[in-house]
Structures are given as structure tokens and as C-alpha cells.
Structure 1
Amino acid sequence: MTGFLRRLRGDRGAVSTQLVLVAPALMLIALLAVQFALAWHARHIAQYAAQRALAAARAEDGTAAAGRAQARRSLAALGSRALTSPSVTAERTTARTTVRVKGTVMRLLPIPGLVLQASGTASGPTERLTTPTGDQP
């Protein structure tokens, strides 16, 4: 019986020690999962803003400046907390229009070197009026 009691006394506090070691690791894993989910969300925000800007810039009477303005309006409407310091570039030629939205993902953890970027790109043909060619029925 005394050997049994000695074994019990030797394990005293083991659960507390394990909890102190495991709980922070589990919290870090959970926060990293939330950080990467936030990066995924910020990428969707950037893609949405790029698509809206493309629709404005590639229209027949649209301009690259109109596309950039539409992207900024879309980003403002969605909120700028997930995607911080966004930059918008729009290029419009007679054949093709391309819009890129890039930004930094909001940081939850102050881990050095963990700076996530999110970007979205939309590209499509520039709208223009054409006349039909060939024989008319």
C-alpha cells in the first residue's frame, strides 16, 4: 500500500504542468487557423474589388481611372480592416483591360516575418462597337 501512495505522490501536479505546456500551443494553432482564414477572406475581397473595377473600366465609355475609383469604392464598402493598405492598378488598351488589387492582410499574431499579402486580378476584353462585315442577308 505504501508503494501505491508513493506513486500517487510522484505524479502530483503533472496535469497542471501538461496544461501549462499544451494550452498555449493549442491557442497558437487556433489563432494561426484564424489568421489564414482571414487571409483567405482578404483575397476574396481583393478579387471582388478587381471584378467590379474591371466592369467599370472595360465599358465602352469607361477609363482606367473609373476602374480604380470603382475598386476604391468597393473596398470602402466592404470595410478596410481585413485588407489593409490596398493598392489598385488598372490598365486599359483598345483590346484588353486588366485590374489588379493588392494589399496586406490584417495581423492577429505579432509573429516576426508573418506578413501575408492578398491580391486579386481581373482581366477581360475592352468593349467596343463594331460593324458587321460580310454579306447581309
Structure 2
Amino acid sequence: MRARLRQAVGGDRGEITVELVIATPLLLLALLAIIQFAVWSHATHVAQAAASEALAAARTQYGTTGTGLAVGRRLLEDLAAGPLRNPALEVSRGADTVSVSVRGEAAAVLPGMHLHVHAEASGEAERFVPNTASAP
């Protein structure tokens, strides 16, 4: 009876260690995946903010593509150093519309992970239109 009890209790030795060896890396991988998603999300928000600021500067009545590029680059220099790698900013202004595109890559937390970031903003260019209605 005593031998049977020892055999029943002793048969599970090391089971918890094996479970920890398997579960711990999976738990850490899941945690890093969550952090990677947060970094990608933050990089996307930074790119969208840069696109919006560049659009606001370029679409004013006397705004130019150069003005939009300068404002967008300044914001990217201030905010993108951490989450957004290799940002590329493009501003185009036509007679009626302005469009801005920001592309880059989110900083990698997981090795080998390359998540691309893209943000666009567009709107009408502001221009002065004189009132042609004559007063009675």
C-alpha cells in the first residue's frame, strides 16, 4: 500500500517545470505581440498627425508644397524618432486640392517583424473668391 502511494505521488514529478518551460515563452511572445501592436498603432497616429499638419500648412491661401513639407518634416522630427522609422513625406498641391502622404515602418519589437505605416490627408486648397453679387 505504501509503495503504491509513493508511486502515485512520485509519478508527476517535474510536470510543473515542463509546463513552465512551454508556457513562459508563449506568454512572453503574446506580451511582445501586444506591445508590437501598440507601437504600430502609435506610429500610425504619428504619421496621421504629420499628414494633417502638412495639409493644414499647404492648403492655406498662400501655402505651398514647400510649406507643407517643412511643417510635416518638423513634426516627424519631433515625434517619429521612436515609433516611426524611415518616414517619407510627400505633398502635392494642385489648383483646387492638396494631398499629403506619409509612409514609414513601425519600430520592431519582435525580431523580423516589418509593419508598414501609411497615412494620407487631402482637402481643398483655400483661395479667395470675391463676392460678385452687386448691392442694390
Alignment TM class, shorter chain as reference: over 0.9
Contact 2:43 / 2:80 at 8 angstroms: preserved in 1?
Answer: no
Aligned residue pairs, count:
135
1:2 deviation in Å? 2.2
Residue identity opposite 1:124 in structure 2 = G
Q: Confirm or deny that 1:80 pairs with 2:116.
A: no
Residue identity opposite 2:10 in structure 1 = R
Listed as ranges, the gaps of 5+ residues in structure 2 are none
1:66 deviation in Å? 1.2
Stretches (4+) displaced over 2 A: 133-137
Residue identity opposite 1:84 in structure 2 = R
Q: Which residue of 1 aligns with 2:33?
A: 32
Q: Which residue of 1 aligns with 2:72?
A: 71
Q: Confirm or deny that 1:130 pairs with 2:121.
A: no
Alignment of structure 1 residues 1-137 onto 2, 5 Å: 1-111=2-112, 114-136=113-135
What SS does the aligned partner of 2:28 have? helix
What SS does the aligned partner of 1:98 have? strand
Listed as ranges, the gaps of 5+ residues in structure 1 are none
Residue identity opposite 2:59 in structure 1 = R
Q: Report % sequence identity.
A: 37
Structure 2 length as normaliser, TM-score? 0.94
CA-to-partner distance for each residue in 1:94-126, whole Å, 9 max, x for gaps? 110001111000001113xx3101121111110
Contact 2:92 / 2:100 at 8 angstroms: preserved in 1?
Answer: yes
CA-to-partner distance for each residue in 1:12-60, whole Å, 9 max, x for gaps? 0100010000000000000001001110010000000000000111111
Mapped partners of 1:124, 1:80: distance in 2: 27
Mapped partners of 2:54, 2:71: distance in 1: 5
Mapped partners of 2:135, 2:111: distance in 1: 68
Residue identity opposite 2:98 in structure 1 = T
1:133 deviation in Å? 2.6
